[in-house]
Amino acid sequence: IATGSKPRSLPIPGAEHVTISDDVLNDPVLPRAVVFIGGGVIAFELGHVYARAGAEVTILEALPHLLGTFDADAVAQILSERSALAFMFAPWLGSKRSTRSTDACASRL
């Protein structure tokens, strides 16, 4: 799921298979696992919803830190609590390939 204050197409292979944040809550099926591209407020908000519903959540971020516009102390507090939310964070290094079947999307990140 590509997140951001304004949804935009990502310049990566397989971008046509990425769901944007505006459309994510319209999906009637809860995925087993979900990956958010972008470590901002929207990713944290939607990630929290999915984690509470039982999905495995991963947030990818290209910058060296998450929630870049927030106060560093506030971000540290949020990150210290993340284990309770079952989030996993990883650096976004780009996408080599993305494919989608009728019920899943797989990426080689």
pLDDT tens-digit profile of 34-63?
888 888 888 888 888 898 888 998 888 878
pLDDT of residue 94: 58
The range of the structural domain enclosing residue 23 comes to 15-108
The residues, ordered by sequence, that sit 6+ positions from 105 with a Cβ below 8 Å of its Cβ are 17, 18, 98, 99
Q: Is residue 3 part of a domain?
A: no
- Please say if the pLDDT value at position 17 is more than 70: yes
Tokens read off for 98: 């993305």
Q: Is residue 28 part of a domain?
A: yes
Q: What's the whole-model pTM score?
A: 0.69
Q: Work out how many domains the chain is built from and give that number.
A: 1
Q: Is residue 5 part of a domain?
A: no
Rounded to a whole number of angstroms, the distance between the first and last alpha carbons of the chain is 14
Question: Mean pLDDT for the chain?
Answer: 75
Q: What does the pLDDT average to over 10-16? A: 77
Q: Is residue 4 part of a domain?
A: no
Instruction: Look up the CATH number of the domain holding residue 93.
Output: 3.50.50.60
Q: How far apart are CA 64 and CA 66, in angstroms?
A: 7
pLDDT tens for 60-105 read 887 877 887 888 888 888 777 765 566 677 766 655 554 454 455 5
pLDDT of residue 109: 46
Handedness of CA 67, 87, 59, 2 (dihedral sign): negative
Q: How far apart are CA 91 and CA 99, in angstroms?
A: 21
pLDDT of residue 93: 60
